Amino acid sequence: MKVVPSAIDTYYEPFVGGGAVFFALAAAGRFRRAVLADANQELILCYVAVRDEVDQVIDALVRYRYDKDAFYAARAVDPESLTLPARAARLIYLNRAGYNGLYRVNKSGLFNVPFGRHQKLVICDEPRLRAASAALKDVDIRCQDFAVSVETATSRDFVYFDPPYVPLSRTSSFTAYAQGRFGNEEQRRLAATLRHLGNNGVPALLSNSDCLTTRTLYRHLPRTKIPVRRAINSVATARGPVGELLVRSYDF
């Protein structure tokens, strides 16, 4: 957390995903307010449900079981036919019981990750869900484009971008995290957004893969290469440290 400002008025995370950085900063009391956003509507609705109706989410989630047939039956359900808590519980279940915790959709925006094989699986982690609900209290949660979500950021705030990474190979191209892909044009627009924030004195940090594309996109910006263990690979022995870039909007 050394690259995070010591005092933050509003924390912005436009690609919230699992929210690991948000929850760590919230536990440490590092910000006054937070804005969490993502283009993935299912994910955003899940966060809203956990924030506002965590009891109902838990009640729906405890009914699921770790079973292949049950998994594919749940995957086939139209999420729009469900109540908000049930919709959130379905997403949590599919994410936990699916392959390697991966979230991926097809061209129609339908979740298409296969059933996963887990030695031990806790489908409903009630204490963590309640802790997440408490952390999300009063948080502004939006289904919104990343550039729009940070338009109000100021020099007193902090922005963390954790976008779909530039793929290092064709087989690692998991960019379909929502309906519509995060391709080269979106990566260029993201780089322009980071520079715009820097020009306006807004502290922002971005993580991405370390490759020629990102080194070119973020040339002349302060950046650090770090080794990170990659958990998803079709070859188990290839799941090891890879290079990632941490890029700052300016040298704050």
Amino acid at 64: Y
In this prediction the pTM is 0.90
Residue 236: its pLDDT value, please? 47
Residue 175: its pLDDT value, please? 44
Decide if pLDDT at 174 tops 50: no
* Domains 9-39+144-248 and 44-134 agree in fold: no
Residue 2: its pLDDT value, please? 74
Q: What is d(CA 40, CA 42) in angstroms, rounded to the nearest whole number?
A: 6
What is the tens place of the pLDDT at every residue in 59-116?
999 999 999 999 999 999 999 999 999 999 999 999 999 999 888 888 888 899 999 9
What is the token pair recorded at 47? Answer: 């966060």
In this prediction, residue 246 has a pLDDT band, given cuts at 50, 70 and 90, of very high
Lowest-pLDDT range of 10-19, 48-57, 163-172, 201-210: 163-172
Decide if pLDDT at 172 tops 80: no
Q: Collapse the DSSP code of 159 into the 3-class scheme (helix H, G, I; strand E, B; otherwise coil) and give the result.
A: strand
Query: Can you identify the CATH homologous superfamily of domain 44-134?
Result: Adenine-specific Methyltransferase, Domain 2 (1.10.1020.10)
What is the tens place of the pLDDT at every residue in 9-30?
999 999 999 999 999 999 999 9
Integer CA distances (angstroms), 167 to 11, 34, 80, 228, in order: 27, 29, 31, 15
Residue 237: its pLDDT value, please? 44
Integer CA distances (angstroms), 115 to 61, 69, 101, 138, in order: 17, 9, 10, 35
Query: Would you say 247 and 218 are in contact if contact means Cβ atoms under 8 Å apart?
Result: yes
Domain spans in the chain, listed from the N-terminal domain onward:
9-39+144-248, 44-134
Residue 56: its pLDDT value, please? 98
Third-level CATH fold of 9-39+144-248? Rossmann fold (3.40.50)
Residue 212: its pLDDT value, please? 96
